[in-house]
Structure 1
Amino acid sequence: MNACINEQNLEVEVYETSANGNKLTKVTEFSTTETRASIKLNPDKTYQTITGFGGAFTESSAYLLNKLGKENRDKIIKAYFGREGANYSLTRTHMNSCDFSLSQYSYTPNEDKELKDFSVKEDMDDLIPMIKEAMVASEDGFKIFASPWTAPPWMKDNKGWVGGKLLPEHYDTWALFFSKYVDAYKEQGINIWGFTVENEPHGNGDNWESMHFAPEEMTNFVQNHLGPKLEKDGKGDKIILGYDQNREGLKEWVDVMYKDEASSKYYNGTAVHWYESTFDYFPEALQYAHKKAPDKYLIQTEACVDAEVPKWKDDAWYWSKEATDWGWDWAPEDQKHLHPKYVPVYRYARDIIGCLNNWVDGWVDWNMVLDKQGGPNWFKNWCVAPVIVDPDNDEVYFTPLYYTMAHFSKYIRPDAKVIDVKVTDDEVMITAAKNPDGSIAVVVFNPTEKLKQFSLALGEKSKDISINEQAIQTIVIVN
């Protein structure tokens, strides 16, 4: 039956996004029966401290915002960074160009070890204005870390944008580049929280900007060049995250990064991506990385629906098992099973919950805004973003992925502690965190085709709640 829920002493607010049309909708009426699962919260048992949730500032996203009318531009910025919106708290951007740039460029195009010509003028038209507008819209503020896809070609052994390695003679030059970047952005009023050392050090199949590092090479660069340089220049507080690629390679990397005190000294944590599989979030690898460096960050730094052109104003597609990824077409035969068709919303919800339940403290999406083609992207590497725009007609589409992200970013705030939670229904996924203000956010993901009912218990207090089929709920327990 449908009935208004009895109070039962546990005061909650419930927000749901579902295939049947809810979009972070506040729910006050629930279906209840005698048969229901149990969810028990134990806030006395805590795990990692949350760093934040968010997305990436890319030149492509910023360029598109500049092509929209002021009303829609402001709407998107507020939707991502306002308290009434997703309230993003952790973000990423790229140093030099990446595939989601309009062209290939470097802040230091001319060979000079002192980098006298260093300039972020390429970012002044689009990228920096977007970041500044986000800073104005964000009442709570957000952290931003930067990632290079490649050093300028003149620093590399192959003299190219794609592939190749950083020449040892330029290790100090490249470390200076990071320091100058911090200063250049500070001059624009933007504080860089930290860095990943290199986006995807295994490369990307030699398709777009990349630069290869072996674990030993990256650790040498961080230990003997980047870390000491930032420290010497008074930037020792900047976070350095190693690795920054798929989780399957984690063990090999963290074994080298955290081999001993000297190798670990300047690494503040580990960065990972999700592209190894469309369904597996690799809990064993995440657990291993945490145990190797339990006091350091473990942050998911990039994820997206890749190798797809966005579906325009078609919510049903995002809830359907229709999406494919790069691995669907060209993964090696022994890895094909990791890349079946998948439901985009499920992939996001499953991965974020799986990460939070396995020591990950931050989760960052890729592009915030793309167009109907899934670009612009100079390599034509089309992808999907939570917000899709049609700049020619000044239209905006908030996909279900936007609301999925907001279920976490809006309600689980920085410095929250992930807490212990037990559920008796193994068909749903659940995670929970206690915020600094004392509130508890519980996120429930029901991928099944049936409504689920459960009793949520915190100590002696409880509340009977139901979640629709194909739905995500955030339950906020207030003080």
Structure 2
Amino acid sequence: ADFHLTLNTAQRYQKVKGFGGSVTDSAAINIQSLSKDAQNHLLRSYFSEEGIEYNLVRVPMASTDFSVRLYTYADAEDDFELKHFTLTEEDTQMKVSPRHGAQAVAKQPLSLYASPWTSPVWMKTNGAMTGRGTLKGSPGDKYHKAWANYFIRFLDEYAKHNLTFWAVTAGNEPTAGEIIFYPFQCLGFSPEHQRDFIAQDLGPALANSTHHAVRLIILDDQRVMLPYWAQVNLNNYVTGWTDWNLALDMEGGPNWSKNYVDSPVIVDSSKDIFYKQPMFYHLGHFSKFIPEGSQRVGLAVSKKCHQCDLEHSAFLRPDGAVVLVVLNRSPMDVSFGISDPRVGFIKAVAPGDSIQTFLWKQPQEG
């Protein structure tokens, strides 16, 4: 083929953490609306070896728009010492069980990470969970210290349910409450504000707690913000990807603000069934074949393909296999070649509007 991709494993880039989805209140409600057999089938589809092998699980800290009510864990006014901090029934009765169920069917340990949408309203400048508002005061003060300790208390309480976390994020969509009026739960941060909050409050709180091994992630936000905060996609050093709700109902909820959206899995509890949508399988091309510890490697393009729109990324897996994912965004078929100097050359075709994963073994060193 005139157009071909040549692997170069001597060029090494980032190592992959993984791929996964979010156990929101709505996801938990929909999963638990199914029979035990159907629940197990859904979890196995996502997390087991015969499924797409998700290994990341995003856990909202308290409510989101994909909840049936608005709440935090410390709603008592001016509770700076968090004496009234408590998990809710959404946590203890709904969300703990799917996480244990997911781990039970997974081949490898799952990595959980937690994300808060908003602080309690008494900490906020606008006195509301929604809208434009941020933490009162400035980094290092009693409001920021209390909000940092809120993270620690969350980790403490979940540990009592035998759930430990790989990471926390400094906040969901930090730009939402900072720049625009946001109709859902939010807590606004500028990059500078989040940096100083982490440096003076959240970082030290984690370091001085029993959760000092927990990682800390910034910019837990939509991809449109990334050119400003960091660079995008797997070819620019991203190490993982977490989708939104694991499962929603036929309406795209439940959602207290009626912000209904799509999901890889849609549940029809009236028939005790669920549907795996095309995006479920699209995500599987990454989560199934690029396990944790895989490292992105060089991929040289012979010449620019002016008539096509192929995107591609190659990885060396911990087991020594090579993975190449090819996405064809154009409506026409594209012929191309794949060259691995250590193995050989093959011709391939990417059908229009398709995604493909190529997987092959390399000879062992020595």
Question: Could you state the TM-score of these two structures normalised by the residue count of structure 1?
Answer: 0.69
Post-superposition Cα deviations, 1:21-71, rounded to whole Å, max 9, x if no partner, equal xxxxxxxxxxxxxx5631211111111111111111111001111111122
Query: Among 174, 178, 184, which residue is 1:201 paired with?
Result: 174
| Partner SS for 2:236 | coil
**Aligned-residue offset at 1:126:** 1.3
From 140, 143, 148, the counterpart of 2:111: 143
Judge conservation of contact 1:440–1:477 (CA < 8 Å) in 2.
yes
* Residues 420-429 or 221-230, more deviating: 420-429
Q: Does 1:180 align with 2:153?
A: yes
SS in 2 for 1:466: strand
CA-based RMSD of the aligned residues comes to 1.7
Q: 1:125 aligns with which of 93, 113, 121?
A: 93
Contact 1:36–1:452 (Cα < 8 Å) also in 2: no
* Secondary structure of 1:54 counterpart: strand
DSSP 3-state at the match of 1:357: helix
Q: Contact (CA 8 Å) 1:56, 1:364: kept in 2 or not?
A: yes
Q: What is the aligned partner in structure 1 of residue 29 from structure 2?
A: 63
In structure 1, the partner of 2:74 is 108
Equivalence for 2:280: 402
- Name the residue aligned to 2:347: 464
**Aligned mate of 1:235, from 168, 186, 211:** 211
Decide whether the 8 Å contact of 1:388 with 1:396 is kept in 2.
Answer: yes
In structure 2, stretches of 5+ residues that fail to align are none
Counterpart of 2:134?
165
| Structure 2: distance between partners of 1:171 and 1:68 | 41
The residue aligned with 1:219 is 195
**Match of 1:468, as an amino acid?**
P
Say whether 1:357 aligns with 2:323: no
Distance 1:358 1:139 in 2: 29
Deviation for aligned residue 1:357: 0.9
For 1:237 and 1:450, locate their aligned partners in 2 and report how far apart those are by CA, in whole Å: 49
In 2, the alpha carbon distance for the partners of 1:138 and 1:60 equals 22
Amino acid of the residue matched to residue 74 of structure 1?
N
* Aligned positions of 1:295-444 closer than 5 A: 355-423=233-301, 424=303, 425=305, 426-444=308-326
CA–CA separation in structure 1 for the residues paired with 2:356 and 2:248: 26
The amino acid that maps onto 1:165 is T
Shift, 1:117, TM fit: 2.3
Identify the range of structure 1 (390-399 vs 378-387) with the bigger mean alpha-carbon deviation: 390-399
Separation in structure 1 between the aligned mates of residue 120 and residue 214 of structure 2, nearest angstrom: 22
Q: 1:427 to 1:202 in 2, by over 3 A?
A: closer
Structure 2 CA distance for partners of 1:156 and 1:449, relative to 1, 3 Å: closer
Deviations 1:399-452 (A, max 9, x none): 000000000000001111001113343521111100111111110112233333
How many Å separate the matches in 2 of 1:173 and 1:468?
54
The 3 A distance-change label for structure 1 pair 88 and 166 is: same
The aligned counterpart of 1:300 is: none
Deviation for aligned residue 1:217:
2.0
- Following TM superposition, by how much is the alpha carbon of 1:106 offset from its aligned partner in structure 2, in angstroms? 1.3
- Take 1:141 and 1:84, find their aligned partners in 2: how far apart are those partners? 16
SS at 1:195 equivalent? strand
Other structure's SS at 2:9 match: strand
Once the two structures are superposed, residues 326-374 of structure 1 have per-residue CA deviations (whole angstroms, 9 ceiling, x without a partner) of: xxxxxxxxxxxxxxxxxxxxxxxxxxxx711111111111111011111
1:81 shift after superposition: 0.4
Give 1:213's aligned amino acid. F
| 1:72 equivalent in alignment to 2:38 | yes
In the alignment, the residues of structure 1 paired with residue 110 and residue 164 of structure 2 have an alpha-carbon distance, to the nearest angstrom, of 10
Task: Give the partner amino acid of 1:150.
Answer: T
CA distance in 2, matches of 1:188, 1:40: 49
Q: Distance in 1 between matches of 2:198 and 2:151?
A: 11
What's 1:474 paired with? 357
In 1: Cα distance, 2:82 partner to 2:190 partner: 26
Instruction: Give the letter aligned to residue 65 of structure 2.
Output: D
Distance in 2 between the 1:102 and 1:365 partners? 20
Percent same amino acid at aligned positions? Answer: 33
Shift of residue 392, structure 1, vs aligned partner: 1.7
Q: Is the 8 A contact 1:54 1:409 kept in 2?
A: yes
AA at the equivalent of 2:341: G
Structure 1 SS opposite 2:219:
strand
Q: 1:447 to 1:157 in 2, by over 3 A?
A: closer
2:327 to 445, 462, 470: 445
Q: In the alignment, what sits opposite 1:3?
A: none
- Name the aligned partner's letter for residue 152 of structure 2: S
Change (3 A) 1:388 1:407: same
Deviating more after overlay: 74-83 vs 205-214: 205-214
Structure 1: unaligned runs, 5 residues or longer: 1-34, 254-284, 287-353
Shift of 1:251: 6.1
| Aligned mate of 1:156, from 95, 113, 124 | 124
Which digits, 9 at most, give the CA deviation of each residue in 1:283-320, with x for residues without a partner? xx51xxxxxxxxxxxxxxxxxxxxxxxxxxxxxxxxxx
The residue type equivalent to 2:103 in the other structure is M
Q: TM-score, normalised by structure 2?
A: 0.90
CA contact (8 A) 1:194 1:239 kept: yes
One-letter amino acid of the structure 2 residue matched with residue 239 of structure 1: R
**CA 1:366–1:248 in 2, change beyond 3 Å: closer, same or farther?**
closer
Instruction: State the SS of the aligned residue for 1:116.
Output: coil
Q: Which amino acid in 1 is paired with 2:195? A: T
Q: 8 Å contact 1:227–1:236 — kept in the other structure?
A: no
* Cα distance in 2, alignment partners of residues 456 and 81 from structure 1: 30
How much does 1:250 deviate? Answer: 4.5
Deviation at 1:394, TM superposition (A): 1.4
